[in-house]
Chains A and B, each alone.
Chain A
Amino acid sequence: MPDQPHVLRILWTRFAWRHWRLAPVSSWLLLLILALGVAAFFSIRLANEAAVAGFANFTDLITSESDGLITAPVGPLPTAVLKDLRQLLGNTPVNLVPVLETSAVPPRRAETEGIGARPTYQILGLDLPALVNLSSPAYGGGLPATASAEASPSAPNQPGGGLRTNAVYISAALARRDQLTNGSRLSLVINDRLAALEVAGLIPNRPNQPAAPAGLLIMDLPDLQRLTDKVGRLDRIEFVLEPGALRAERWAAIKQTLEGANLPAAPRWVVSSSAERREAGVTMTRAFRLNLTILSLLALLVGLYLVFQGLNGAVVRRRNEIAILRSLGVTARQIQQAWLVEAAVIGLVGGLLGLALGWLGAQLAVQTVGRTMHALYFGRNVDSAPFDFQEALIALIVAVAASTVAGWRPARLAANTPPAQIASRTGTASDPGGRWLQRMDLGLGLLGLGLLLTFLPPLRMEGGARLPLASYATALCWIFGAGVFAGQILAGFARFFQWLKWDSVPLGLACSHLRKPSGRHRLAAAGLVCAVGMTAGMAILVGSFDTTMRGWIARTFQADVYLSSDGDQTASSINRIAPATWESIAKDPSVKQANVIQGRELILNGVSTLLVGHDPRFFRDYSKPAWVSAPQDDTVFDAARNDHLVLASESFSERFHVAQGEVVQVPVPGGFQPVTIAGIYADYGNERGAMLLERGQFAKWFGTEMAASVILALQPGSDPEALRAKLRAAHPGLGVFTSGFLRGEALRIFRQTFAVTYALELIGILVAVVGLAFTMTSLLWERRNDLATLRALGLRRRELSWAAALEGGLLAVAGLSAGLLVSLALGWLLIFRINKQTFGWTLQTDHPWGQLIILALLVLASATLAGWFAGRWSTRLPAEREE
């Protein structure tokens, strides 16, 4: 029969649409569930996008987009290199933009303020007078403009004219947020000092570029060099070509010239294209993004399971109608198409709803995801996630496609409904998943395959990240394998209760249905196994993490007082403590011993990690490291003998595949230094990995005495609080923390990161129970004639409700027993495979039994309750009139 669109239209307008209108609550529920899945997917992707977009150079916002830049391999470049470059490039039409960059935070308002509570600003030092060239419309550029109309007329605000010392240009967003105008004061901690800045104007917005974020500040280069003790030094020099044809080719030519050149002021330096750097930023976070995408797909999958259950239930309830339509001459294919269209429409509407929710969610997520990425990788702020049409389209397509897939089986089921004349004879033909879930061999096979997969190594990605793909596959295999066995367990329980011969009609009724579980029962039990397994597995991971972290924190923060620049809030912060400051502090009479810590970000094989200069003896005595491979002897702790010996963190050895005794080539200004790994210690604070070197060697190799932090052990009997107050008064730019405070903060940050897992656990339970409720209503609907008969036989509504409650409860018991068993395996997998492979951390296993028991009771109670409500609902169903 040719396709007949008018039939589809009738099916849609007269039937599907009408059912949706007649049952608004369940319709909205279904849409909302899908929308939530899509929202999770979309918001995570948007937040990601925003975080990565934050990686684009800030300078792009003010000058035209740069074509490339040069940096030193480690540390700063001397300013003199500018002259070399000019000479080298002759009169090639290219603008050189020297840049110095630092981060800063406002001084703390309260002494107890938590880490990360204050906003972090990014300050760019630019050669403002020279930038006038770039502000010509040819570059689409613009220069800082006056902040507001009320600017004092006497203020000499002309760029290139007499700039005031410590003049700062701010974004319109910040001016609005903090009500700043020209002449407003802005006090910020830079390195170990408090700097007073004065607002001199606004950063202009460039057409076709996002507005400058609130966290971006711009200063004249010499001012910032002075403020950061980097006179004569630069972080990078950017190259900006005039826009026009052949721009890429012109840049390539310049790059070639640069690469072959010899710059007297900087013997070693690195030239890179902006496009490459952006690419690198994306690569660095690829694994992180992939992990998040897997998580968000999981959310979608859960939505789909429920859409499947919902549609399946709808088919069951509309079975009569379908049968009559078949009698009246609607073909099976048309029925199937109509249901697929219905599923797709659910996907579309739910998807659109999800986009709206997801966009809102993304704004929240950038705060958390953005902060994580910020701390882990970039050290740049992201404060909003713009709506992205391409991402929206992807999310919508995924939603429609996925919903259609979820509707596939229900649509087939609908199409298989025979005409009304014989439909009543064949009984109910809908038994989703029945065949698959009865196959014990399939269950065993999946469990075995999962076990084999655990032997596979993680996928190593560009940028040093590892993705435990095989372990994720193991998790899936185990969950589905256990799901297959849940049906068996269900039947076992039912037979057991029957064997007990308790004299209870509801229990007898419930067991009679479960003794030979239908496909619907098996599917519901498998759904519970999945939800309980993942939820409890996650709880085991978090519990183990919690125990391990607490132990580590208690051991690690054993010294008394910790100092860092108060501008230092993240792993990649570049605020430092000047030698004069830390020397004077170390001489304080109450200080017994000081560990001065220096640090540098290193790129090894294109992968970023940390090199730390410290006092190894102090580390051993006060940080009490947990050894993964303990040093063989005391050499590494002896300043006289530990030349070129380092301690490496477990993450480092995992990431770079190096073991104790192996040698690593460390890039330093002017060459490489070979270091030997003397020992490997556990570290849960840093997943990038770190090598610890004796500080004297570090200072010599990098030619700096600036410290990242200082750790103090006090003389017996001295009061850390008193010293803290004294140091804060003497050095307002220093952050001074007692070990007690730091321990609390470390735990707080850790808990905050894992708070989302509790939300996930709740969602897991919710999904399992909603899925079970859908199942129960379908089951009871199919049984409505028997229920009418039972009522005619004299059963009370209450007894029937109880029978349904017991059926739901027994389903939950079966799902829970298989689910908890698989969760133990998943917990092991998460701790010893997924976590170890991703972060390089070994955790001490700790099963949070209390939490698992609460979880089990919650699932049991809500499943019983769902069954009870479904049972009560079913007793009011009209019986079908049968022949």
Chain B
Amino acid sequence: MAEPPTAGRGLVLTAKDVAKAYAGRPVLRGVSLELRAGERLALTGPSGSGKSTLLNCLGGVDRPDSGSICFKNQALELMDADGLTEVRRRDIGTIFQFFHLLPTLTAAENVELPLQLNGVARAERTDRVRSLLERVGVAGRSQALPGELSGGEMQRVAIARALAHAPAVLLADEPTGNLDSRNGAIILDLLQELSDETGTALLLVTHSGAATHICHREIHLRDGLISGVRKADTD
């Protein structure tokens, strides 16, 4: 695993005793964690253990039944739906297993969208989109529609989109789950480099052991409870 972030850097995200049930069946049963700026945290566990549910609560698209989540010292449970959306727009980048690029927008336009939503001026947007696409290695495909890209290329564009507005946290739910191992490795390297470069915290839900290697810490979930925490071990 990689080096842990230098101590003393600020807390970005904290969860305390987060619990959630669906139709009376508990999915999360009191989960607490902390994420610091620049830190990369892996969230592992068997299928159905509640990883995605936890990630959704942390990202403000779902609400826990109890417990508290603080994002940069703001309690998410105190915000209304629009407030949560605003946080998502400004401070969170999301990467999905199925890429979720907008099919009618070109690669460049997909990356540009978060900047537009945040009201960034056009000239700045163009520059930033170009440099991001170059950085993730798909500058040559900037005018292609998602349907014309390969899975690996799509996920690179999705990473560029997630980082476009320089969010404080990047949430990724099995970003390599739909890619072959070679492309998966490339994506993981990219995530590692970019979070180092930008200081963006990364919360990575994953099955693969390879993915945990790029993280500073690993939290293991089982039946909605944290069943183990692993600090980065030196390679």
Interface residues of A (CB under 8 A from B): 1, 4, 6-7, 10, 14-15, 18-19, 22, 320-321, 323-333, 418-422, 881, 883
Contact = CB atoms under 8 A, between A and B. Distances in A.
A763 B55 CA distance: 53
Given A419-B61, A421-B61, A324 B102 contact: yes
Given A19-B104, A327-B88, A329-B86, A7 B94 contact: no
B89 A329 contact: yes
A266 B117 CA distance: 83
A196 B130 CA distance: 87
A421 B62 CA distance: 9
Contacts of B114: 328-329
* Max count, chain B CB within 10 A of own CB: residue among A10, A323, A333, A883: A883
B100 interface: yes
Which secondary structure dominates where chain A touches chain B?
Answer: helix
B116 A1 contact: no
Interface stretch (B10-18, B28-36, B77-85, B185-193): B77-85
Given A330-B117, A332-B82, 9 more contacts: A1-B86, A4-B119, A19-B104, A320-B103, A321-B103, A328-B113, A421-B59, A421-B62, A421-B94
Given A329-B85, A421-B59, A324 B100 contact: yes
B117 A7 contact: yes
Nearest to B81: A332
A14 B85 contact: no
Given A328-B114, A419-B61, A15 B104 contact: yes
B113 A881 contact: no
A326 B55 CA distance: 16
A422 B56 contact: yes
A421 B173 contact: yes
Size category of the B interface is 20 to 34
A14 B109 CA distance: 9
List the 6 closest pairs (A to B, CB-CB), nearest first.
Answer: A329-B89, A419-B61, A1-B82, A329-B88, A331-B85, A421-B61
B88 A328 contact: yes
Nearest to A328: B114
Contact of B83 (A1, A15, A321): A1
A256 B62 CA distance: 81
Given A6-B116, A14-B113, A330 B85 contact: yes
B96 A421 contact: yes
A321 B105 CA distance: 10
Contacts of A422: 56, 61-62
Contact of B104 (A18, A327, A881): A18
Given A1-B82, A329-B89, A321 B116 contact: no
A720 B83 CA distance: 91
Contacts of A15: 102, 104
Interface string B175-197: 00010000000000000000000
Nearest to A318: B104
B126 interface: no
Contacts of B103: 320-321
Given A328-B89, A421-B52, A422-B62, A10 B94 contact: no
B222 interface: no
A583 B92 CA distance: 102
Contacts of B88: 327-329, 419
A883 B97 contact: yes
Contacts of A419: 61, 88
A347 to B, nearest CB: 23
A324 B99 CA distance: 10
Contacts of A7: 117
Contacts of B56: 421-422
Contacts of B161: 328
A330 B55 CA distance: 19
